[in-house]
Amino acid sequence: MKNLLTSVACIMILLAFVLQFTQNQVLHNRLTAIDQAGNNFKEIIKQEGCITAENEKQLKKEICRILDCPEEDIRIRGGRERVFRGGLIHYSIEVPVKEIISVPLFWGIREDENQIRYKIHRYTTSEYIGRS
């Protein structure tokens, strides 16, 4: 009986690790997709010389699709005034990422502790030359 109880406890712990490994892979894929969306956003603002409401809305829609979160939770900051070729454009993207740990109750982690804010702070050089 002692061996059975020990075996069941070991299997439960091993299953928790397998689930966490899977969750890590999903989380990695989501963060990589957000980075790719951020790089696409960077290329757009390089050409336009600033962040516009249109390309900000497009990025928010893309991130909402990836993370399944409301647009209000996504923060995009940066230069709203046009910068001509050679000038620097700063932009930052903050998104909430939930479900970091796959079985939080098993480890004694509350739901509000099982999340992070993923932040991207970057600069890019403008390629805007004043033509439409």
For the chain, the farthest-separated pair of C-alpha atoms sits apart, in whole angstroms, at 79
Measure the CA–CA gap between 129 and 48, rounded to whole angstroms: 9
So what's the pLDDT on residue 132?
60
So what's the pLDDT on residue 82?
93
So what's the pLDDT on residue 9?
85
So what's the pLDDT on residue 100?
93
So what's the pLDDT on residue 106?
85
**Residue type for position 12:** M
Where along the chain do its domains lie? 2-125
How do the pLDDT tens digits run along the chain, 132 residues long?
Answer: 888 888 888 898 888 889 999 999 999 999 999 999 999 999 999 999 999 999 999 999 999 999 999 999 999 999 899 999 999 999 999 999 999 998 898 889 998 999 999 999 999 999 999 876
69 contacts: CB under 8 Å, gap ≥ 6: 63, 95, 96, 98
Closest listed residue to residue 23, CA positions, set 94, 96, 104? 104
So what's the pLDDT on residue 36?
97
CA torsion 65→79→81→76, rounded to 10°? Answer: 30
So what's the pLDDT on residue 33?
97
So what's the pLDDT on residue 34?
97
So what's the pLDDT on residue 124?
95
